[in-house]
C-alpha cells in the first residue's frame, strides 16, 4: 500500500492500567513501518502517530507501580483514527469508578470516524459506555462470568480471541474491536495494522515482532472451574464421585441410582447447579485431567486416553479437540513443560 501520512492512534491511559498492555500497544504501532525497514536498510516510514492520552494529561500510575507520562489530554483529542483501551490491571470496579469521566470521552470519540479497540478487561470500559449493547464482544475468560453478570445486553463470545462489531459511526471505519487478553492483543494489533496499512505491512510486523498470528480461540487456555458454587449437597456428592472415579466407566443412570433420583431429575438438578449435564461434567473432568497430564509429562495419546477413562482413542481425540480447539499432540506441544 502506498505510503501516506501516519494514522493517528490514541491509547487511553488511566491509573490502574496494566503496564505491559499500555507499552506493548505503544511499541507495536510505533514501530510499524520502522523495524522491518531498519532491518533491510530501507527508508523508515512510520505508519502510525501514537500518543498516550490521559485525563488532564496527568501521569499514569500503572498497576505494577510504573509511572508513565502521558503525551496529551484526552479532553483535547477531537479526532483520531483509532482509540485503544488497554487492559485494566487493578480492580475492575475500582478503576471504572475512579475513571468515570473517561466514559464520556470514549462515547464522544466513538461517535466520530474512529475505530475503538479494547484489550482484555478494557472491554469493561466499552460496556460501561453502552457501546457494546446488542453487539458481539470478548474479554479474558477469567472475567467472562463477571462481564455477563454486569452487562447482560452484550453478546459476549468469551471463546473468541478477537471480535469486531459495527460502531455508532456511519463512516467507512468506526467499528468496535475487542481482544480476549494477554497476547491476544497482538492478534488484534495485526488485524488493525492490516486494516489501515494492508496485509504486506501487517506481515512485516508479525515477522519483526515474531508474532504467531494463528492462535485460534481461548478454549485451550481456559481452566474450567468445575466446582461452581451451589448448595445442593446431592449434586456435590455426585460431583465428588465423578472426580474420584473418572477413570472408570460412568453411566448417568448409575449415578442417579446411587443418590436415589431418576436420571431426568439428576440431569435437571445438575444443569441448574453446574450449568452442564452429568455426561458433560464427566467429559469436562476427563479433559481437565488429560490437559494436566499433557502439561506435566511425556505421555502417548493411547496411554493418555486410557488414563482418563477412554478405550477409543479417536473418540477421546475428538472430544479433546472439541473442548480445546487443539488435538492432544498440539496441546502438548503448546503447553508441555518439557517443551519450554
Has residue 95 got a pLDDT over 90? yes
What residues does 68 pair with on adjacent strands?
60
Domain count, the chain: 2
- pLDDT band with cut points at 50, 70 and 90 for residue 337: low
Output the pLDDT for position 120: 94
**Last residue of one domain, picked from the residues 182, 217, 252:** 217
> Is 225 within a domain?
no
Residues 6+ apart with CB under 8 A from 327: 317, 320, 321
**Last residue of one domain, picked from the residues 217, 242, 276:** 217
> Is 275 within a domain?
yes
Has residue 283 got a pLDDT over 70? yes
Question: Biggest alpha carbon distance in the chain?
Answer: 77
> Is 167 within a domain?
yes
The larger pLDDT score, comparing residue 4 to residue 199, is at 199
Q: What is the pTM for the complete model shown?
A: 0.76
Asked if residue 125 and residue 40 are part of one domain, the reply reads yes
Three cell numbers written together for 247: 477413570
CA-to-CA dists, residue 5 to 46, 48, 61, 203, 319, angstroms: 9, 8, 32, 20, 50
- For 19-78, write each residue's pLDDT tens digit: 999 999 999 999 999 988 888 888 889 999 999 999 999 999 999 999 999 999 999 999
Q: Which of the residue ranges 67-81, 104-118, 130-144, 289-303 would you say has the lowest mean pLDDT?
A: 289-303
- pLDDT band with cut points at 50, 70 and 90 for residue 228: low
Asked if residue 188 and residue 263 are part of one domain, the reply reads no
> Is 1 within a domain?
no
The residue-averaged pLDDT of 87-92 equals 95
Asked if residue 237 and residue 206 are part of one domain, the reply reads no
Asked if residue 258 and residue 189 are part of one domain, the reply reads no
CATH number where 53 lies: 3.40.50.880
Distance CA 284, CA 64 (A): 35
Has residue 258 got a pLDDT over 80? yes
With cell 483520531, the residue in question is: 80
With cell 463477571, the residue in question is: 146
Output the pLDDT for position 217: 67
CATH number where 262 lies: 1.10.10.60
Asked if residue 287 and residue 211 are part of one domain, the reply reads no
- pLDDT band with cut points at 50, 70 and 90 for residue 127: very high
Between helix 313-324 and helix 278-296 the angle, nearest 10°, is: 90
Q: How many CB atoms lie within 10 A of CB 171?
A: 11
Highest-scoring range by mean pLDDT, 166-170, 203-207, 216-220: 203-207
Asked if residue 42 and residue 69 are part of one domain, the reply reads yes
Distance CA 56, CA 68 (A): 14
Output the pLDDT for position 17: 95
Output the pLDDT for position 340: 42
The residue-averaged pLDDT of 273-297 equals 89
Asked if residue 269 and residue 211 are part of one domain, the reply reads no
Percentage of the residues of the chain whose pLDDT score is greater than 90: 60
**Last residue of one domain, picked from the residues 154, 187, 217:** 217
Q: Which domain holds residue 286?
A: 233-339
> Is 87 within a domain?
yes
Residues 6+ apart with CB under 8 A from 318: none
Asked if residue 136 and residue 84 are part of one domain, the reply reads yes
Has residue 327 got a pLDDT over 50? yes
Asked if residue 123 and residue 167 are part of one domain, the reply reads yes
> Is 2 within a domain?
no
Across 240-266, b (16+ Cβ under 10 Å) vs e yields: ebbeeebeeebebeebbeeeebeeeeb
Output the pLDDT for position 284: 92
- For 163-180, write each residue's pLDDT tens digit: 998 876 555 568 999 999
Is the CB of residue 58 less than 8 Å from the CB of residue 14?
Answer: no
Percentage of the residues of the chain whose pLDDT score is greater than 70: 91
Distance CA 14, CA 73 (A): 11
Output the pLDDT for position 210: 80
Amino acid at each position: 500500500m502506498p505510503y501516506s501520512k501516519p494514522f493517528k492512534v490514541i491509547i487511553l491511559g488511566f491509573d490502574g492500567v496494566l503496564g505491559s498492555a499500555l507499552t506493548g500497544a505503544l511499541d507495536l504501532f510505533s514501530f510499524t513501518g520502522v523495524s522491518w525497514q531498519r532491518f533491510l536498510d530501507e527508508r523508515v516510514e512510520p505508519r502510525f502517530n501514537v500518543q498516550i492520552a490521559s485525563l488532564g494529561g496527568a501521569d499514569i500510575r500503572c498497576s505494577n507501580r510504573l509511572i508513565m507520562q502521558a503525551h496529551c489530554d484526552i479532553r483535547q483529542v477531537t479526532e483520531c483514527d483509532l482509540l485503544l483501551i488497554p487492559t485494566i490491571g487493578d480492580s475492575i470496579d475500582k478503576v471504572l469508578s475512579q475513571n468515570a469521566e473517561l466514559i464520556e470521552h470514549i462515547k464522544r470519540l466513538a461517535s466520530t470516524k474512529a475505530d475503538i479497540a479494547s484489550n482484555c478487561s478494557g472491554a469493561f470500559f466499552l460496556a460501561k459506555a453502552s457501546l457494546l449493547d446488542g453487539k458481539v464482544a470478548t474479554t479474558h475468560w477469567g472475567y467472562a462470568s463477571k462481564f455477563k453478570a454486569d452487562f447482560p445486553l452484550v453478546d459476549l463470545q468469551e471463546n473468541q480471541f478477537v471480535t469486531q462489531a459495527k460502531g455508532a459511526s456511519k463512516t467507512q471505519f468506526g467499528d468496535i474491536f475487542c481482544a480476549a487478553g494477554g497476547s491476544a492483543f497482538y492478534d488484534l494489533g495485526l488485524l488493525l495494522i492490516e486494516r489501515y496499512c494492508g496485509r504486506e505491512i501487517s506481515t512485516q510486523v508479525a515477522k519483526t515482532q515474531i508474532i504467531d498470528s494463528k492462535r485460534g480461540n481461548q478454549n485451550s487456555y481456559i481452566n474450567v472451574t468445575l466446582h461452581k458454587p451451589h448448595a445442593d449437597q446431592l449434586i456435590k456428592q455426585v460431583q465428588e464421585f465423578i472426580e474420584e472415579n473418572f477413570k472408570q466407566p460412568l453411566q448417568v443412570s448409575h449415578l442417579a441410582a446411587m443418590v436415589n433420583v431418576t436420571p431426568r431429575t439428576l440431569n435437571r438438578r445438575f444443569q441448574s447447579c453446574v450449568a452442564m449435564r452429568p455426561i458433560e461434567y464427566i467429559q469436562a473432568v476427563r479433559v481437565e485431567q488429560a490437559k494436566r497430564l499433557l502439561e506435566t509429562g511425556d505421555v502417548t495419546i493411547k496411554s493418555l486416553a486410557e488414563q482418563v477413562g477412554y478405550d477409543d482413542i479417536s473418540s477421546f481425540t475428538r472430544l479433546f479437540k472439541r473442548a480445546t480447539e487443539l488435538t492432544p499432540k498440539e496441546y502438548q506441544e503448546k503447553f508441555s513443560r518439557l517443551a519450554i
